[in-house]
């Protein structure tokens, strides 16, 4: 598989259904809002979190790089775009809920890049911009990644009303993932939560996690995050990388393109009826010269070929004067028109 192909597949682990049910128990919806998953996979987790709230409008938005997964997500979510999240243009501060389970991988080096970044941090910073103030974020990454100084500092600075919990015992040994749930600060001035920062910096110690990080199932029934009501129709949500099929359809339906097609169609001669006046030989010669008389006419049993030809000859005449004889040369133009059918050739003139 190519490097890009590996990038597409690498780090994709969907959240287990059991953990999704626990997360769902920790969220409450009382007003219409919009929910966003920037790496939505097949859309299963966002659909799961919406289930049971059919009396409230929760518009779900997803972005997925893999085409097959994106097609499946479109069947479950309201708005899905198959594109890299890096290509997306999205309104800031609009989503009431952000579900973030980024790939466990590095970003690909671009032109002029000296080094790549871990996607857990890159997507955390990028997608926090789209979350509304006081909006709730669910952030799932491998436990040890919380000890990354950039990740721990960002979380401890930009979020409040937080909890750091791990998968329940049934799944933790297999996945080794922890869940951060917090509310995005609404204040302009954001101070570092030193206690949280220090706690997260110890997350690369497995003993610390097992002793101090509560399994999610034990938090159920003791804490709930109310997802704030926000707009449901996000004003800006598109990819800079256009879908080729959509472009083709737009071009085909464009009025200007249709007019261009009509103007560039080959001209077809339609012959029929009698001329308004008799055609002189000179006029017939012009028709022949332009090719108007040559070609196929009719269709089916009446299909026949018309062949026109201009016959040019020269006639010499002599004029006698008193002292000499003057020879004059005159050009004569005759027309020959033939109709050719499978049976015979008929000469008109």
pLDDT computed for residue 147 by the predictor:
96
Q: Which two tokens stand for residue 167?
A: 């998968």
Q: Which two tokens stand for residue 216?
A: 């999610």
CA distance 273 to 67: 60
- Give pLDDT, residue 308: 72
Which CATH homologous superfamily contains domain 3-107+117-242? Answer: Vaccinia Virus protein VP39 (3.40.50.150)
Burial degree of 270 (CB within 10 A; 0-12, 13-18, 19+): exposed
Distance (Å, rounded) from C-alpha 224 to C-alpha 180? 13
- Number of C-beta neighbours around residue 52 at 10 A: 10
- H helix intervals, 115-230: 119-128, 149-158, 169-175, 194-200, 206-212, 216-219
pTM, entire model: 0.67
pLDDT tens digits, 211-268:
999 999 999 999 999 999 989 999 999 999 866 666 667 677 778 878 888 878 776 6
The pLDDT, as a whole number, for residue 292 is 62
Phi, then psi, of 176 in degrees rounded to 5: 55, 45
Cα 171-176-179 angle, rounded to 5 deg: 85
Element (H, E) at 295: strand 295-297
Residues of the chain within CATH 3.40.50.150 domain(s) are 3-107+117-242
What pLDDT score does 108 carry?
45
Decide: helix, strand or coil at residue 173.
Answer: helix
Tens of pLDDT, residue by residue over 75-117, are 999 999 999 999 999 999 999 999 999 987 654 444 444 455 6
Q: How many residues does the chain have?
A: 349
- Pair type for strands 131-142 and 159-166: unpaired
What is the per-residue burial (b if ≥16 Cβ within 10 Å, else e) of 131-168?
bbebbbbbbbbbbebbebeebbbbbbebbeebbbbbbb
Q: Residue 288 to residues 39, 267, 295, 309, 341: CA-CA distances in angstroms?
A: 69, 16, 11, 6, 20
Q: CA end-to-end span of the chain, whole Å?
A: 74
The residues pairing with 177 across neighbouring beta strands, listed in sequence order, are 142
Contact status, residue 139 vs residue 37, Cβ threshold 8 Å: no
Phi, psi of 159 (to 5 degrees): -130, 155
Low-confidence ranges of the chain (pLDDT < 70): 1-13, 105-117, 242-248, 250, 267-297, 348-349
Q: Which two tokens stand for residue 210?
A: 């097992």
């Amino acid at each position: 598989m190519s490097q890009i192909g590996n990038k597409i597949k690498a780090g994709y682990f969907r959240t287990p259904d059991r953990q999704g049910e626990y997360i769902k128990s920790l969220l409450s919806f009382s007003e219409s809002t919009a929910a966003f998953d920037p790496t939505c996979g097949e859309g299963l987790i966002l659909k799961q979190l919406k289930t049971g709230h059919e009396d409230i409008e929760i518009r779900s938005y997803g972005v997925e790089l893999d085409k097959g997964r994106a097609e499946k997500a479109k069947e479950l979510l309201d708005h899905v775009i198959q594109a890299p999240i890096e290509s997306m243009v999205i309104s800031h501060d609009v989503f009431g809920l952000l579900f973030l389970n980024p790939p466990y991988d590095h970003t690909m080096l671009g032109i002029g890049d000296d080094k790549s970044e871990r996607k857990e941090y890159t997507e955390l910073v990028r997608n926090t911009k789209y979350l509304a103030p006081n909006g709730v974020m669910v952030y799932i990454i491998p436990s040890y990644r919380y000890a990354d100084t950039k990740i721990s500092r960002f979380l401890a600075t930009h979020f409040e009303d937080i909890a750091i919990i791990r998968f329940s015992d049934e799944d933790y040994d297999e996945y080794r993932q922890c869940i951060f749930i917090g509310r995005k600060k609404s204040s302009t001035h954001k101070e570092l939560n030193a206690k949280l920062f220090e706690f997260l910096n110890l997350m690369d110690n497995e003993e610390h996690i097992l002793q101090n990080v509560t399994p999610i199932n034990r938090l159920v029934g003791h804490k709930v995050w109310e997802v704030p009501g926000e707009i449901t129709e996000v004003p800006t949500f598109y990819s800079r990388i256009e879908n080729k099929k959509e472009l083709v359809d737009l071009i085909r339906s464009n009025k200007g393109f249709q007019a261009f097609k009509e103007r560039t169609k080959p001209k077809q001669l339609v012959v029929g009826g009698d001329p308004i006046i008799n055609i002189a030989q000179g006029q017939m010669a012009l028709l022949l010269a332009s090719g108007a008389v040559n070609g196929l006419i009719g269709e089916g049993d009446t299909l026949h070929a018309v062949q026109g030809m201009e016959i040019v000859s020269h006639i010499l005449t002599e004029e006698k004067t008193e002292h000499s004889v003057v020879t004059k040369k005159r050009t004569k133009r005759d027309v020959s028109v033939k109709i050719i059918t499978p049976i015979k050739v008929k000469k008109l003139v």
